[in-house]
Chain A
Amino acid sequence: MKVLSEKLFGGKQGAIGLAILSLLLFVVFPLWLDLFRLGLIGKYVTYAFVAISLVLLWGNGGILSLGQGMFFGLGGYCMAMFLKLEASDPISTKIQTTPGIPDFMDWNQLTALPWFWEPFKSLTLTILLVLIVPTLLAFIIGFAMFKRRVGGVYFAIITQAIALILSILIVGQQGYTGGVNGITDLKTMLGWDIRTDSAKYILYFANAGLLIACMLLARYILTSKFGMLLLAMRDKEERVRFSGYDVSNFKIFIFCIAAMISAIGGAMFTLQIGFMSPSFVGIVPSIEMVIFAAVGGRMSLIGAVYGTLLVNFGKTMFSETYPELWLFLMGGLFIAVVMFFPDGLAGVYEKYATKFNLTGKLSKLMIKFNKSASVTDELVGEKP
């Protein structure tokens, strides 16, 4: 039991942090905020999925992907395609030249549903595809690159280029994807109207619940032996390789997991906000999501969630009142975080928490010491 709690919650401290976050998401926000603001929080929480995936991939794995927005978008598009098909049944689209296909296809003179839209008629298949399509893409990219030992800077640039390609492709193929407007006018899911107030509350709670679940999964990964290997790979890749581990397989695996977590966020985004557009796929959102993780703390799962919420809060507040100030602030934030707080909010918190709590400091040091000792022990002891 103790082992499991250690693995899922990250010990006492992790459990407390997680409990506070759950309290905020499940109790404080729904009671305190009106539905509109709560909807905004729900939107930010979907971005937090990507931030968590980046903590796994970048903070712990040392792999910076500038294409996470692409996986977020793919997950969102898969969900949007299902909802769009349901919204364009033959009766409600009977004024079109070809009833029964989405309206943007009709505008673009398509007369039949393209083959890759067919699977999205079923919800089960759609949910599977939300998970599979981004993971598969991540696997292909990861396999091609990590097997050839491409990493670091080159990986970042190439994932960025792929995100650019995908967003141009979606914008360019208007008839198949809805073009620059994206897929809009989503109404129901299996007859359940997702635009009503009650549906919004339900989706918000489902979303927050999924986020906590993903955090538990991520924590489990990080505290397992694989998580230690991930850290070891980040710091001394060659050493891990020479110890007999196949580094590239681990990297492909974590890249796929990260893609899947981002995709869940994307699908939840579509459900809550009611549309999906290419502006969530390209380079800018991908880099913004990296900064959410960086502000919160690239090493801390909980920190990344808070970082996402805070940056987006700031964005909404400032872009409402002083839109021209926002870019200065955002740019300044990027620079300041990188220069002065490389570990983000979580790093700052850790520093001050320990400063005012000497016993805590000592115990933390012990934990850190034990951890680093056990990392080396396991790596060296396991496969000499």
Chain B
Amino acid sequence: MFGYSMEEVGNIVVMQGFSGLSLFSVLLLMALGLAIIFGQMGVINMAHGEFMAVGAYTTVFLSKIAVSYDIVNSYFVFAIVAAFILAFFIGYFIEFLLIRHLYKRPLDTLLATWGLSLVMQQIFRSTFGAKEVSAELPEWLLGSFKPTEDIDIPINGVFVMGLALIVTVGVYLFMYRSRWGLRVRATMQNRVMAGAVGINTKKVDRLTFALGCGIAGVAGAAFTTIASTGPTTGSLYIVDSFMVVVFGGAASLMGTIASAFGIAQAQSILQFFMTSSMGKVATLMTIVIILMMRPEGLFASKVRK
């Protein structure tokens, strides 16, 4: 097959599969936030990638401070928390200024948030420069381990995956096992009724949007461990994340996970055997064709409309 022996193909699949898992983790973190904002609230947040960049830049900034105080080995956990908090509050603020006026015009949120993303990109460029920057990683994130002679698995990949798992479980618990999640779901399913039983729907909207942005911030922190960050980093992932959410079925957590996994794996394995652009084209094309056959996505919840 393609001039490789069977054993080599096996190793390639494992290693590409693993690099697919890193991509999967970042995509999943991005898509989780988007699934909340887009899937639940119906807001098309084109600036979602920039919220990820907020998280990434926070991490980079903190890593610079950590280097000067010589605490590189322990800052990373704080960076994740800080990335979440900062993105959360920017999201909270943006919802108050912008999004809440546009709930009835979903297509217009797309344009307004695109404008927002341009502004945010320029802010990044003016503050941190047009060049890509990368965070100083703690030592325990570097290196790799070798289960067999030919297989290399980078530790930062494992870490990002662990983080994605923790956040996914957290989102699940929040959305389906907490009072807050109940209120969020009630508001999204029937706003008027939710208001009638005493839920403050405006507050729920604001917190939901902010939470989605906060998760994007965590995605940004995770992103710094596998790549460097530039002003337009976020916009590279925005279409992919939308495809993940739409492909998985907008309101379904399981669907989001499954489709993030499928898309990331397909992309990184195909990229090895074809050129990297053709791998991406093949993946996106397949998704578009499947979506044309099945517009409601993979895991559609059955709702009567």
Q: Which residues of A contact B (CB under 8 A)?
A: 64, 144-145, 148-150, 152-154, 156-158, 160-162, 164-165, 168-169, 171-172, 283, 287, 290-291, 294, 324, 327-328, 330-335, 337-339, 342
Contacts and interface: CB of A to CB of B under 8 A. Distances in A.
Given A157-B242, A324-B122, 17 more contacts: A145-B292, A153-B106, A156-B110, A157-B243, A160-B242, A164-B284, A165-B281, A165-B284, A171-B277, A172-B275, A330-B115, A330-B118, A331-B115, A331-B116, A334-B112, A339-B102, A342-B108
A162 B292 CA distance: 12
Interface residues on B, range: 35 or more
A89 B287 CA distance: 41
A339 B101 contact: yes
A165 B246 CA distance: 16
Nearest to A58: B107
Given A153-B106, A161-B287, A165-B288, A334 B111 contact: yes
A168 B277 contact: yes
B115 A338 contact: yes
B5 to A, nearest CB: 28
Given A153-B106, A165-B284, A335-B98, A158 B112 contact: no
A129 to B, nearest CB: 22
Given A153-B42, A331-B122, A144 B292 contact: yes
Residue of B112, B114, B288, B292 contacting most chain A CB atoms (<10 Å): B114
Interface in B110-148: 110-112, 114-122, 125-126
B44 interface: yes
B95 to A, nearest CB: 14
A334 B118 contact: yes
Nearest to A153: B106
Interface string B268-305: 00000001011011001101100110010000000000
Contacts of B275: 172
Nearest to A171: B277
Contacts, number: 111
A332 B115 contact: yes
A164 B239 contact: yes
Contact of B106 (A149, A152, A324, A331): A152
Contact of A153 (B44, B114, B116, B291): B44
Contacts of A283: 239
B291 A158 contact: yes
A188 to B, nearest CB: 32
Contacts of A339: 98, 101-102, 112
Contacts of B121: 327
B295 A335 contact: no
A149 to B, nearest CB: 8
Nearest to A334: B115
Contacts of B277: 168-169, 171-172
Q: Of residues A149, A154, A161, A330, which shows the largest number of chain B Cβ atoms within 10 Å of its Cβ?
A: A161
A172 B291 CA distance: 24
Contacts of A291: 111, 115
